[in-house]
């Protein structure tokens, strides 16, 4: 029997989103894909759309800001499948622009709970399952807006001249990617960040030159399908390593 690769994607909340398209592209490459959303009915509805395309999709409810829920989903994946080959941390909160002086700090906490602490939580609790894979990969969906390297919009060249809480959370996520890659190298688990670039997941972004979701998703799929012994602790866009 062929050993089917199993991927889990967090934050698959809408049909026009990056996570949904990543699930489609991976499943079309023969992966079995668990898509997760905060609510089970959301995951079910989106999974049904992909199942109609004859794709192997499993829906589950997961809120990455709920540590107990992360543990429960990890246990369920272990019970059903016994391993995990690819973890894609796609869940993110994209807040409005906040001013340094007037911000309500509770809003910042919510951003970091979703975009950073939630990622650390999923990595922490899915590591035992990833260790059971012969070729485990973790992909943290990041953003060029959290980079210092000047790749398009960045911390030194911010979109609309505003460094947002989102951008700062993605810079923190990039730092965590480096830490996790170093910590898990001994276990042969590849840990990388990938940015889809400015992608038209919302209508307003199309007006600012956002590219198709299909094109944006390819960067994540590339990192998720790296060969055994491939690079770790890197930041990818369109299959190329970019600067942190």
State the catalytic residues.
166, 170
Measured CA to CA, the distance from residue 42 to residue 192 in angstroms comes to: 28
Among 52, 157, 165, smallest CA distance to 113 is for: 165
Structure tokens at 100: 């340094």
Structure tokens at 155: 């911390």
3-state secondary structure of 32: strand
Strands 32-37 and 6-9: parallel
Q: In the block, which residue shows the tokens 């829906």?
A: 59
CB atoms < 10 A from the CB of 72, how many? 15
């Amino acid at each position: 029997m062929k050993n089917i690769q199993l991927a889990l994607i967090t934050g698959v909340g809408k049909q026009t989103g990056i996570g949904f398209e990543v699930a489609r592209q991976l499943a079309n490459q023969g992966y079995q894909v668990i898509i997760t959303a905060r609510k089970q009915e959301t995951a079910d509805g989106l999974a049904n759309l992909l199942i109609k395309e004859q794709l192997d999709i499993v829906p589950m409810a997961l809120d990455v800001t709920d540590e107990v829920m992360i543990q429960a989903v990890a246990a369920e994946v272990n019970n059903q499948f016994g391993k995990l080959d690819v973890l894609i941390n796609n869940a993110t909160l994209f807040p409005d622009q906040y001013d340094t002086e007037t911000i309500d700090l509770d809003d910042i906490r919510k951003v970091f709970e979703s975009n950073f602490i939630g990622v650390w939580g999923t990595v922490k609790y899915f590591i035992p399952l990833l260790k059971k894979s012969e070729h485990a990969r973790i992909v943290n969906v990041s953003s060029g807006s959290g980079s210092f390297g000047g790749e398009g919009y960045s911390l030194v060249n911010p979109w609309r001249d505003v460094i947002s809480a989102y951008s700062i959370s993605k810079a923190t996520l990039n730092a965590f990617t480096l830490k996790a890659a170093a910590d898990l190298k001994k276990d042969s688990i590849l840990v990388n960040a990938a940015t889809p670039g400015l992608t038209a997941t919302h209508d307003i972004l199309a007006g600012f030159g956002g590219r198709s979701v299909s094109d944006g998703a390819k960067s994540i799929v590339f990192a998720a399908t790296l060969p055994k012994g491939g690079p770790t602790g890197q930041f990818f866009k369109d299959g190329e390593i970019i600067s942190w």
